[in-house]
A = this chain, B = another copy of it.
Amino acid sequence: MSNPTAAILIIGNEILSGRTQDVNVNFIAKRLAARGIALSEVRVVPDIPHRIINAVNELRAAFDEVFTTGGIGPTHDDITSECVAAAFGVPWEIHPETFTLMEARMGRENFNAARQRMATFPRGATPIRNEVSLAPGFSIGNVHVMAGVPRIMQAMFTALEPTLPEGTPIAMRAVYGMGLMEGAIAAELTAIQTRFPDVDLGSYPFRRGDAGGVAIVAKGTDITRLEAATAEATQMIAAAGIEPVQGEPEPG
């Protein structure tokens, strides 16, 4: 598959401490899948400069696009922007156009030193203006630096989206069986996977209240093949004496 690849880097002490449940990965993952970009890695690192710098450099070398979330506000713990400049080996400097825009919108007397940091980018960065926050994110090379607050991140991603590469969208089909046990269908599922090497077949146990079952999920870019593989999985479930149900169970 020659779809573009991507990684997400979450800069977030609040995720690592357990204070906050991340929801940004799931949002970005769905939007990338729809665009045919293969999300290939996620990392969460703390607000420590060398950890951020190393992760940015490893991920931007390994994947086509890198999305960071978090750490671009005005407070002392917001160090993503400086760290990205360090990762690229470029100066971190006032972005004049952004500075002027933010000053005009906030008023000169409110545009204090802390807020001016949000108009300071790695040299060569392009702002990601958006409909929610006055302070933009930015892109430099293949690295896209976004806010951690989900509503702002989503606005930034939406603004960025048309500039991203496109692949063949990754489609998904699912069939599930309530009461199905993975161990009972594993051999047959392996046989189906062998017949469909171009389809990515996954098997996911789930629960709904006191009952449980297994979802068989087929992913791929060729919808005809995807549906043929799903049809075989459907027969496999029926052959196990369980009524197959098309569609998506609750995740879990």
The distance in angstroms between the C-alpha atoms of A20 and B114, with both chains bound, is 38
B contact residues around A39 at 8 Å (CB): 16-18
Please provide the chain A residues from 139 to 155 with a CB less than 8 Å away from any CB of chain B in the complex. 149-151
Known: A22-B25, A73-B182, A77-B203. A17 touches B252 (CB 8 A): no
- Give the interface size bracket for A toward B: 35 or more
The distance in angstroms between the C-alpha atoms of A76 and B51, with both chains bound, is 35
A187 touches which of B27, B114, B170, B248 (Cβ 8 Å): B114
Which of A17, A40, A41, A77 has most chain B Cβ within 10 Å?
A17
In the complex, whether A75 has a CB less than 8 A from a CB of chain B is yes
A217 with B187: CB separation less than 8 A: no
Could you list which residues of chain A lie within 8 angstroms of chain B, going by C-beta atoms? 10, 13-23, 25-33, 39-47, 51, 73-78, 110, 112-115, 118, 149-151, 170, 172, 182-187, 189-190, 193, 200-207, 217, 219, 248, 251-252
